[in-house]
Structure 1
């Protein structure tokens, strides 16, 4: 009987369950969409029960197709940040305010001006933004003075899924770092920080922090009946989605680095301690391995930019869109796209809740293909800037849905002059989660051993010297024009809000 592990990746718009062999082969995959609900004040929310239903359906689909395979463990990952709250009966207190939520944008500026933002940075290594859990909790508490008293548990997306599978409440070090965890000592939450933020009541709602590869409980009889998983198998604690890709790529040691391009971007590197961080504009997560931290930048300039322009220009197929983008030369005929299209603004490599997308350099002779290509270039330039801030040299190891695009990989290599190495197999998040499940199940001795079992093939993209100078000039214009426009962004946001109000009147 062949042994297999299941990796569950609860992303922002889709949940996936992937069955892997213990040699890293993808055997089965199931996907379900999960809607995001947007509000008039910048809200971006999801229903916790809808997420669990999607997970349950995915698991039922893949387990129903297994023959003689033996599932030995489950690994979990999910979208990070936001406020994922249970009440005193351990039922959802409200819909989750997810990482895209922008309702607390003004509070970010208030905390920056008042010193709270600096306190959060000093203790947790995190630069504040509107959807960071402490910022959202403070916003909710101001709206309802009794709100904090109603919270039973404060945790995160993948922790909710594990609770449904096992009945156990826990989280890992990477997710704990998004609240009050002291990344300098690596020894727990800082009560003084919580008090300084007026959130001391939240401390009693935080679950136990466990290593990501530890067992966070076993599949209950009820969950087994609902999903088809065997009762009693371990469910690994897991990690936040941006961090879990590291084990799946074999990035475990200090100095290892990788990039992800999904709904958001991610550029991160592992460091021996927070004292080695390269930028105060970055975010830092404890990994649970002594004082090691993952320093990263997570720009909001991800694949939604590409989805939007493809749909706007009427390309039904990605390959057709990319062929059209290749029909014009690097530099897009002087058209520059600023990819700050998220309703939440931008958080890396700078923090600005008012950040807005725009095109520059167009004329009546501009071609649709140049507009299209400029979006690819703008998304690529955002990643290049973050890699420069973190001083990542050597090969650029990449993963994630956006990097399925050869054009993006080529632009990244040509602009930086560094070779890009892409993992060929899809489902990098689920692979990383499954890697941790191998350890939790006892099939691997440690994370490094598990990563060697799950290794997959890669493709490489060498820099094209002929394109380098063009892209560097375009990249310089991208940064210069962006910085020049930043003072106008708040007024642009105000105009947008006023127009929305008129439309709704």
Structure 2
């Protein structure tokens, strides 16, 4: 049963949040208010991006740098933390150079990054172990254990979210049992973007919206909780968790060393920032309860904000939203556009996509197949599943007359069906939204956006901005530096709708038939997954 959590007001700061107001960080902000730009950093699973915005939300310049993902063992997805930091330095230097400005023109900055995963750092700031991305499944055994022994139901009223393998809680428990020496050397346990802020400022903080999606925090009471950690066998890591601060608070300033590395100015304010799911929602203008946001990237993220939290064992996550007084209600899984990336990289490896726009090529292939049923079903479970924990990706219904175009259309449709599966669960707690704002790689494909509209039968709105995570981070910086009075004001100024894809009612029955087949395939295969 879903339930509203009583006595969980966020108007009073909890005792575990550092009892210092931003005034204790008095920074002579007047120096930076002479600037014209806000900088957002977006740390994805492999790609690092820096984007510069003017105060109306226009993208001035974007620079990116890539990091390697390492898989030393099956189910391990890691990155070198120093390499990630250096990629941020390169991206920052690059965006300043591309924009043709000086660091003194930047009012403030903030970072966003993928949620969950784990970043362990020694006292000197170097890594004690590679960073782990949220697709890392080495902690899967603890998910199964906590679901079976009742731990999950005990912690749910405080965490407000399910347990899954890529969470820092399951990863930390794995280290306690398998690599205790690593944790012994660790001074700070960071989320991805909190580590980047630490390198920018030398100040260690955990930002509340991000931490509220990690199960490391008592979300109900907005604090760390020793008893909660003890339920998961994690009491020993309590003192390694960094002090908490909010998304729109200043959490330090650019150090002299970083200024010399990047071209930023020493003393430039750095805001708390937020997790990518919150940043993307902010960047598409989710500031009230009418709309819903879909982020179609590595993860299938489907979310809305509410003034009342929802706690339900069937719900993926309730977390704290950067706008004071709001909670984010979310359904998600790693079942989205990363499946297309795999298909293009592995199945179409003989095609040189370096000279082509990936979505232009994919759209052309999909358009070569009629909307009507071609009989192929794709389950987008390459990295994880939103059904059986052991479920795997597969194509069902292939015949000799099918080709790559048919398979690509099935990939497009299967990913949308996975989003629909999550959205239908969210509609248990709210009405059908007036519109859905879409973010992630899918937003670059008009064909795919229209497919979302036709399958969901809801208008899909696409914003002008292409780097939504970075824009959401820049909005946090704008609020922290008092450039904008509130997140809503910042969003109203900086977010603009490019176009709306309206649903075609004539396609509703056809896609509903396909979706029912998709669900039937999942149910039919459910009995065999445990054999893998």
Alignment of 1:202-241 (within 5 A): 202-241=237-276
Alpha-carbon distance between aligned partners in 2 of 1:289 and 1:3, rounded to the nearest angstrom: 24
Alpha-carbon distance between aligned partners in 2 of 1:297 and 1:331, rounded to the nearest angstrom: 29
Provide the residue aligned with 1:297 in structure 2.
331
Provide the residue aligned with 1:103 in structure 2.
138
Provide the residue aligned with 2:204 in structure 1.
169
Partner secondary structure for residue 333 of structure 1: coil
Provide the residue aligned with 2:306 in structure 1.
271
Provide the residue aligned with 2:25 in structure 1.
none
CA change 1:27–1:466 in 2 (3 A) is same
CA deviations on 1:303-349 (whole Å, 9 max, x unpaired) are 2211222342355233132112111122551111111111xx22x4x
Over 6 Å off, 4+ runs? none
Does the Cα contact within 8 Å between 1:149 and 1:201 map onto a contact in 2? no
CA change 1:325–1:256 in 2 (3 A) is closer
CA change 1:290–1:3 in 2 (3 A) is closer
User: Does 1:134 find its partner at 2:169?
Assistant: yes
Partner secondary structure for residue 333 of structure 2: coil
User: Does 1:75 find its partner at 2:84?
Assistant: no
Alignment of 1:490-505 (within 5 A): 490-491=530-531, 493=532
User: Does 1:281 find its partner at 2:315?
Assistant: yes
TM-fit CA distance, 1:236: 0.8
Partner secondary structure for residue 51 of structure 2: strand
2:66 to 33, 37, 54: 33
Alpha-carbon distance between aligned partners in 2 of 1:423 and 1:479, rounded to the nearest angstrom: 31
TM-fit CA distance, 1:448: 1.2
* TM-score of the superposed pair, with normalisation by structure 2: 0.87
Provide the residue aligned with 2:234 in structure 1.
199
Partner secondary structure for residue 285 of structure 1: strand
Alpha-carbon distance between aligned partners in 2 of 1:62 and 1:410, rounded to the nearest angstrom: 32
Provide the residue aligned with 2:85 in structure 1.
52
Provide the residue aligned with 2:500 in structure 1.
460
Provide the residue aligned with 1:363 in structure 2.
399
Provide the residue aligned with 1:383 in structure 2.
419
* TM-score of the superposed pair, with normalisation by structure 1: 0.92
Provide the residue aligned with 1:416 in structure 2.
456
Alpha-carbon distance between aligned partners in 2 of 1:295 and 1:254, rounded to the nearest angstrom: 11
1:340 to 350, 365, 381: 381
CA change 1:434–1:64 in 2 (3 A) is same
Partner secondary structure for residue 405 of structure 2: helix
Does the Cα contact within 8 Å between 1:398 and 1:422 map onto a contact in 2? yes
Alpha-carbon distance between aligned partners in 1 of 2:42 and 2:112, rounded to the nearest angstrom: 5
CA change 1:147–1:118 in 2 (3 A) is farther
CA deviations on 1:419-455 (whole Å, 9 max, x unpaired) are 1111132000000100111111221111111112212
Partner secondary structure for residue 82 of structure 2: helix
Give structure 2 stretches of 5+ with no counterpart.
1-33
CA deviations on 1:68-98 (whole Å, 9 max, x unpaired) are 6711101210111111111233321110121
Does the Cα contact within 8 Å between 1:331 and 1:374 map onto a contact in 2? no
The size of the alignment, in residue pairs, is: 485
Alpha-carbon distance between aligned partners in 1 of 2:331 and 2:175, rounded to the nearest angstrom: 27
Does the Cα contact within 8 Å between 2:142 and 2:170 map onto a contact in 1? yes
CA change 1:461–1:255 in 2 (3 A) is closer
Provide the residue aligned with 2:45 in structure 1.
12
Provide the residue aligned with 1:498 in structure 2.
none
Does the Cα contact within 8 Å between 2:292 and 2:433 map onto a contact in 1? no
